[in-house]
């Protein structure tokens, strides 16, 4: 049995959940949801080929988080370009993918984490971000986190 077969015990539970949701979308004839999930599964498969192994849940989350980020950025560009209907579609697609990710952290939660890391001795941008990012990965935007770190270091 190859590593990429769905019945492989090392296969990600999240990957299986996505596959199941896509099959349900097919049965429900929900074209948008089916398309978004199918695209996500393709991106996951491409990433697996790239790394040469099946992704674990964390790897799948990274692919999904990247997809959410890309769609949100596209939505912003669509709005700026005067295409609100396309922006809404991108936001809907981001929301579909977001259903499979842990809840996002609020700015206040990230600020509390930053203060905690500062109290434990990290007082420079690089080391602080190095300790913060693994804790917020896929749950908060890195640029916004960088801004919060700068603000807290200046405080």
Query: Do both 26 and 66 map to the same domain?
Result: yes
pLDDT digits (tens, 9 = 90+) for 37-50: 999 999 999 999 99
CATH number for the domain that contains residue 142? 1.10.10
Mean pLDDT of 19-48: 96
- pLDDT exceeding 70 applies to what percent of the chain? 93
> Is there a domain that residue 83 lies in?
yes
Taking each helix axis as running N to C, give the angle between helix 57-80 and helix 31-51, from 0 to 180 degrees, rounded to the nearest 10.
Answer: 120
Sign of CA dihedral 62, 63, 65, 69: positive
pLDDT digits (tens, 9 = 90+) for 63-90: 998 999 899 999 999 999 999 999 999 9
Q: 17, 24 in Cβ contact below 8 A?
A: no
Per the structure, the complete domain to which residue 127 belongs is given by 107-154
150: its two tokens: 């700068």
- Say how far apart CA 71 and CA 93 lie, in whole Å: 7
């Amino acid at each position: 049995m190859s590593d990429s077969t769905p019945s492989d015990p090392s296969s990600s539970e999240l990957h299986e959940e996505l596959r199941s949701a896509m099959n349900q979308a097919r049965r429900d004839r929900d074209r948008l949801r089916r398309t978004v999930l199918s695209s996500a599964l393709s991106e996951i498969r491409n990433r697996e080929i790239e790394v040469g192994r099946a992704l674990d849940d964390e790897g799948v989350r990274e692919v999904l988080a990247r997809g959410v980020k890309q769609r949100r950025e596209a939505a912003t560009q669509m709005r700026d370009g005067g295409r609100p209907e396309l922006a809404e579609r991108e936001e809907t697609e981001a929301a579909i993918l977001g259903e499979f990710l842990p809840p996002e952290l609020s700015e206040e939660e990230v600020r509390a984490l930053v203060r905690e890391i500062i109290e434990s001795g990290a007082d420079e941008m690089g080391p602080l971000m190095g300790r913060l990012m693994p804790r917020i990965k896929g749950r908060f935007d890195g640029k916004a986190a960088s801004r919060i770190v700068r603000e807290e270091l200046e405080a």
